[in-house]
Structures are given as structure tokens and as C-alpha cells.
Structure 1
Amino acid sequence: MTTPMLTVEDLTLAVRRGEDSKPILASVSLSCARGEIVGLVGESGSGKSMTLRTAVGLTPAGSDVSGRVRVSGQDVLNASGKELTKLRSRTASMIFQDPRAHINPFQRIGTFLAEGLRVHQRLSKTAAARTAQGLLEEVGLPDPARHMRQYPHELSGGMLQRVMIAAALASEPELLLADEPTTALDVTTQAEIVSILLRLRRERGLSIVLVTHDLDLAVSACDRIHVMYAGSIVESASATELARAPRHPYTAALFAARPAPDRSELQAVSGRPLGLYEVKGGCAFAPRCPKVIDLCRETAPEPRPVDGHLVSCHRTTPPPLDRSSVLTKGERP
């Protein structure tokens, strides 16, 4: 059986602040097969970005981490600093949410890209410049030669996000981790960025983990989707099946809150999202759930298989799933 590009098993993470410990992630399990696009969706603060960062060893200083994370079979949590640098240079690349925060404002775009290429691919200065221009063309910038000479402030948000995708491709990765790559972009530009990611998956055979709060985007782009709430995955299913019949009350509430032409008003999810550190016991979604029962407030639910979904909810009838069978083992659903 083919080794998955990314495997996360029972990942738990807490950040220390002095003598206190603040839990962020609890028993997160997921996988991404080779050539697959997997989505992580949920409200802000649910743990999506932290899961992505932990996948390449970018955990906060003073973190307590347990579980297993493997990228192309390599153990991430027990890797040395040198091994992590090699991993990020050759196997996995990350696209961050705010490109302006990750590009030197005093450096031309061409210089920024060429530096990465010289480090990752050990190219000469001339070859790096030529390859950088080719990457800008690959990500859809219309006049790459001109953009090579420009500074970040001269480019729009959508153009800068394309530059960040080009920078991520500089190491010729097998796994691309995209953290909210379409946030703050207009709808047309969002569609263009997603189209680029889909094309890269097709042409380069990339595996992609896409973090987003946009359900429609996730359904249109991803093969499978994991829904996160308060540091845990509460539902997992194929994108098509999740959109057709969400099983967890939180997932159903997210879909109901989307704007649609046939709705006169939005159905907002009641209450406010909780961080894992605020959960005192029971199901984290219980304070906001329209289907809550006493058991929900007393005991945290285990993942259960329900009609092709994996759901952490007491309001489902099948028996709890053995945690060792949570992952897809690199196979498509």
C-alpha cells in the first residue's frame, strides 16, 4: 500500500505559559494521500492552522506535543532541527495566510524567489532568476519579467499570493500546506487561486492540505474534508458526501449559515466558538448545539462511523469506532 504523504494520529498539543498549560489540539487524526486534496474547515480558533503548522514542526516554543505526525513516512515530532529544515526544503512547503507578512518589503520579487531557489535547488544566480520567472508564469502572473523587478507594495493581494505559491514551489515539494490562501481576496481572485492549486495537483502530482473557513470553496476543491471545532475533528467525509448530508450538528449549522439565493436571512450558529482550553467536560459543542442532551454535557463523544462519515456525536447510533481505524491509510474514500 502506498505511504500517505501526511499522516496525523492522535495529535494533542498544549502551549505552556509560565506554570500554566493551555490545550490547543486534542486527539486530531487525519491523512492526505499522494495526489489528494484534503480540506480542514471550521471557525477561527478551532485549531486548523495549528494542525497545519505542527505537520511541519512549526510548533510554538514551550509546547507539549504527543501523538504521531509523519510526512512521506518521516517522523516529524521526533525530528532534529536539521531534519526539519531538510523536510521543509525538499518535501513539504507552506503557503501562509498573509503574504505581506512573509515577504521582505524592501526586496524585489525576483530576488526573493531567486534566493529560495539558490538555497533549495543550489542553482546559479542566472539559473535561479530564469527559474523564478518561470515559476511566476506557472502561477498565472501575466507579465513575469516585469513582476520580477517589482516590490511587494506594487502588487495586489492576489498577485502576492501567487508569488507565495511560486515561492512554495521553489523546493519542488510533494506536499503543499495552504493556510487560508484565499482570505481577504475578492471572489474572482479566490477562484483563480483555487484553480491554480487544482492545476498544480494535476500537473505536478502534489498532495495538498487546504485550510479554509469557506465551506463552498472546500467542497469545490477538496476530495475529503475534516471539520474542526475546539481543537478536535468532529466530522470527516468525502467533500460530496459532507455537502449532501452533514451528520454532525456543527457541520449542519455551518452549511445552514451559508448565504444562498433562496434564503431570505442567514441562519447564524448560536453562541460563540470555544477554544479547547475553555471546555470543562463533555462535548465542546454542547453549549451551542440544538440537539444537546444530558450525556453531551457529561461525556466527550468518540468518533463513530455513520453512513460513510466519521462523526464525534452522541446523537448517532452506531458503536464507537476504534481510534486505530480512524485514518484512511492513504486510500481515497
Structure 2
Amino acid sequence: MTTPSGQGQRQGQGRREAVEEQDPGLAAIMSERRQLINLAYRLLGSLADAEDVVQETYTRWYAMSRQEQDAIVSPGAWLTKVAGRICLNLLGSARVRRETYVGEWIPEPLPDPAEWNTGAAGGAGGDPADRITLDESVTMAFLVLFESMTPAERVAFVLHDVFRYPFAEVAEIVGRSPAACRQLASSARRRVTAARAGASPDAARQARVVQRFKAAWETQDIEALIGLLDPAALAVSDGGGRAIARLLPLQGAEPIAHLYLMVARLAPPRAILERTVNGLPGLAVESGGRIETVFSFRVDEHDRITHIWAVRNPDKLLPWQVP
């Protein structure tokens, strides 16, 4: 049986194919969209902002005359350059915006569309989250690390080390010499190497740790929770002033375990679901038919949880909601 969403997807695809037959060049231009979304999300840590960047990039393309477009040897490179520059400008202003953000700011968590039967990803146009390639560079630990870099470091590293752009092209986007961009990427790479040290690279091992954490939380086993946490573990929550959340990070296995135990005792009935978050095992808390919190974890080589990131800001959880 054909579902309404399936009909919408096929109708939307048919319209795109018809337009591309009339303008073959459009197919090449639109084929860059996934690459641009992937780039912008890694640079900005926000799916909504990434979509805005891509829209603005295409707006600038179509603002040019056909003659100006035809004169561009590599439209894909042109689109990447424009998107990169827009992201660089946004990163510069983001630091100012974060100063007025209520509480801690955490990048938007991404769901794995394969784990959902319906929802935003099933719409006719598809959801931007469905176009993000889930690899190491998009894990929550990486995105949080990117936040500690300067905008130029972040752009140089992501473009060169993740997307393999030569430094000559990176320099055109960043507005510095290739040698300077090489130094920026090298500085960022040292941070990444240091952050990788001691982390468990095995998703299956992380899944087992997260499952044990979920079981201990549901049974309110305080000793088990403490045992799963590194003594210096850090828990960060992001409510953005739109949901109840701690304004400051909480450090230490015992304080974190007691906080989660209190939440388990006082919270209304809800379900704790095992979900893939930014490509790694995590948890999502569902209450009243809506996802209200998404948890990401960093697990070390000793199967201890060193970081917990809890996103509660509803504006950042829209891709997680099933209508």
C-alpha cells in the first residue's frame, strides 16, 4: 500500500526530475546540497543554521545571471567557497550570541533516521538530518571540541582534514595564506589528537555501557551509576531557557549519580529509549509522546563514562519529534 508520505516523496522527486530535464545544469548544482549541509553542520553545530546557510548559498547562486553562472568553471567549488565564508562569518558572531544564551550551549543532536518509522524524515522534502553523513567528525565529542577552536581553526581543519580540500582553496575561504591555513589546521589537529586519547573507539562497547547506565538509572541503583562514571565525569545540560536544565556543568561521579537519581524519583512517567545520537549509542527520553531530552556520552577505554551531554532545548530537538 502506498502511504501519503510515500506518494509525496515520489511526487516531489518527479517534480525535481522534470525541472532537471528542462535545465540539466540544475542537477549538478543541486547535487552539491548534501555536501554543503554536511559541511555547514560540522562548522556550526546547528542543523537549523546549516540549512539556512545552504539556502543563502543557493540564493546567491540564483541571484547571478545565466552568463555569470556559465562563467564559473566549478560550480561545486564556488558553492563550497560561499557556504564556507557564510559559516565563518556566523562563527564570528556566534561567540557574541552565546554570551546571552541561557546556560550551557550544546550542538544540536542528530537522530539516525533508520531508527524512526515516521517523522520529519518521512516528509516529501526529507529532513536535513537525513542528509548528514554520520562519521567521527560529527560525534558530539568532536562538535563540542570544535566549539573550543577559533572560527578560522575550525574552518581550516574541517575543510582540509575532514573534506580534503587543498590549503590553496581553504585559503580563499578563510582569507589567509595557504601557509597560515596549514598552521591553523595543525593547531586544531593537535587538539583533536589530545581529545582522542583515552576514548573508546568501539561503538559496541559504548552501547553496552550506555545500556548499563540506562538500567541503573531506571532501577535507581545509585552504586551502579557511580561505578559507571569516571570519578571526574562531567555532565552538561542545555535548556536554552526553554526547558529546565542546570545552568552550569556538574562534575564528579557521585554528584552526577545523585542528580540522576533525583530526576528519576521526581520526573513524571517517561520512557528511556536507546537511540543513536550523532552516530554513537545514546539515549532519548520520551514523555507524553514527545522526545524531551537527548543524551550523548563519551566513554573511555576503561568503559567509564567521562562526559554526558543532555540537550533539552526543544528548538534543538525538532528532528527527533514524531508527529
Task: Give TM-score scaled by structure 2 length.
Answer: 0.27
> Which structure: greater strand fraction?
1
Task: Give TM-score scaled by structure 1 length.
Answer: 0.26
Q: Which has the higher contact order (CA 8 A, sep 6+)?
A: 1
> Which structure: greater helix fraction?
2
